[in-house]
């Protein structure tokens, strides 16, 4: 009898141990080398729900919190372990500063935090890059960083990344002129720039420089760890050819880093927001969820959060955070290695 009891206990123990090592079916691995940075056994946690259009996640190490936006509701939200989700800054991207259609996707989108601790926002409705103190407010006082290129009002800055010198690279598609009901861009005399540009704003010189206007619908943007290369997501909504473009910042040449055309045929999702891990791997929203692509351009894994808009790491890259699209209006996180 004693042997039987010990045998049963050992089976329970083995079962418990194995349950901790069950692979998450939502994590698809195509090259096992990626397991150096992600954990195939991690579970996806849902942090927030019922948000019209979550976007622009950034980790705020000063408050140990995730900041993100609800683009449609025109507000910045804040999440942390202690308080959950709360309103943080409202309005966020449409304050009446610039003429716009008065409807659609007009709140802030991409967020970042500069070396002074200020929040930098891409504002769709106000059609500018702006900065603000990192504090809660329902009557925010934004400072304009840049609102035009060669005297013409920007379209609607969408996403951004900041280099070590403080210069801001950002994309400027016309999503402030986009109708979510018809899923089409609206022609308007308010739009002054014909092309959707990728820009560099040098804060030291207070000058804006065009990086490229040859990407038909640029969206997510990120720098390589050595800052020699700039990655830009080409959404492919206009030509059904989604790609990640890699720009050499030394000579400004560009190439297709990753082609998502085949993936997009059978999977929902767009090349929207992205971040680059310290290993050089590109983490990007894309067809099928979140794609992890090696520095050499190899698709090594997909995390199926559903249709998502963007992602972010915390300070130590312990967690990956992801924001969902309108048909998946949630905020998620998953533990990394």
Q: Which pLDDT score is estimated for 237?
A: 82
Q: How far apart are the first and last CA of the chain?
A: 43
Per the rule left: phi > 0, alpha: psi between -120 and 50, beta: everything else, 194 is alpha
Q: Which pLDDT score is estimated for 125?
A: 98
Mean pLDDT, the chain, whole residue set: 93
Q: Which pLDDT score is estimated for 182?
A: 86
Q: Which domains does the chain have, with CATH numbers?
A: 24-335 (2.120.10.30)
Q: Which pLDDT score is estimated for 9?
A: 44
HEC string for the chain: CHHHHHHHHHHHHHHHHHHCCCCCCCEEECCHHHHHCECCCCCCEEEECCCCCEEEEEEECCCCEEEEEECCCCEEEEEECCCEEEEEECCCCCCCCCCCCCCCCCCEEEEEECCCCCEEEEECCCCEEEEECCCCECCCCCEEEECEECCEECCCCCEEEECCCCCEEEEECCHHHEECCCCEECCCCCCCCCCCEEEEEECCCCEEEEEECCCCCEEEEEECCCCCEEEEEECCCCCCCCEEEEEECCCCCEEEEEECHHHHHHCCCCCCCEEECCCCCEEEEECCEEEEECCCCCEEEEECCCCEEEEEECCCCCEEEEEECCCCCCEEEEEEC
* Measured CA distances, 85 to 46, 80, 192, 260, 297 (Å): 12, 7, 37, 34, 36
Q: Which pLDDT score is estimated for 226?
A: 98
CB atoms within 10 A of CB 229: 20
What backbone phi and psi angles, to 5 degrees, belong to 63?
Answer: -120, 5
Whole-model pTM: value is 0.93
Instruction: Calculate what percentage of the chain has a pLDDT beyond 90.
Output: 89
For residue 26, give every residue at least 6 positions away whose Cβ sits within 8 Å of its Cβ, in sequence order, or none. Answer: 44, 289, 303, 304, 305
Q: Which residues of the chain have pLDDT under 70?
A: 1-20
Model pLDDT for residues 133-156, shown as the tens digit of each residue: 999 999 999 999 999 999 999 999
């Amino acid at each position: 009898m004693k042997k039987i009891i010990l045998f049963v206990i050992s089976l329970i123990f083995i079962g418990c141990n194995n349950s901790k090592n069950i692979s998450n079916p939502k994590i698809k691995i195509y090259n096992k080398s990626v397991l150096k940075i992600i954990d195939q056994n991690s579970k996806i946690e849902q942090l927030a729900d019922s948000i019209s259009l979550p976007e622009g996640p950034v980790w705020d190490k000063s408050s140990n919190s995730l900041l993100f936006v609800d683009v449609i509701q025109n507000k910045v939200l804040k999440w942390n372990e202690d308080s959950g989700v709360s309103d943080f800054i409202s309005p966020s991207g449409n304050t009446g500063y610039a003429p716009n259609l008065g409807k659609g996707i007009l709140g802030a989108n991409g967020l970042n935090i500069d070396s002074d601790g200020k929040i930098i926002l891409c504002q769709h409705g106000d059609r500018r890059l702006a900065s603000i103190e990192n504090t809660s407010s329902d009557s925010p006082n934004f400072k304009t960083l840049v609102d035009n290129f060669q005297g013409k009002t920007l379209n609607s800055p969408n996403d951004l990344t900041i280099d070590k010198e403080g210069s801001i690279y950002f994309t400027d598609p016309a999503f402030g002129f986009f109708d979510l009901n018809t899923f089409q861009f609206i022609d308007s005399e308010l739009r002054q720039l014909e092309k959707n540009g990728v820009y560099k704003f040098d804060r030291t010189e207070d000058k804006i420089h065009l990086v490229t206007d040859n990407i038909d619908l640029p969206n997510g943007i990120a720098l390589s760890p050595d800052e020699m290369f700039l990655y830009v997501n080409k959404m492919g909504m206009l030509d059904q050819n989604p790609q990640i473009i890699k720009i050499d910042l030394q000579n400004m040449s560009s190439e297709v880093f990753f082609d998502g055309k085949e993936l997009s045929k059978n999977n929902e999702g767009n090349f929207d927001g992205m971040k680059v891990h310290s290993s050089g791997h590109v983490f990007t929203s894309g067809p099928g969820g979140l794609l992890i692509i090696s520095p050499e351009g190899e698709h090594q894994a997909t995390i199926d959060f559903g249709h998502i808009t963007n992602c972010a790491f915390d300070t130590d890259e312990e967690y990956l955070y992801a924001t969902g699209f309108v048909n998946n209006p949630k905020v998620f996180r998953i533990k990394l290695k």
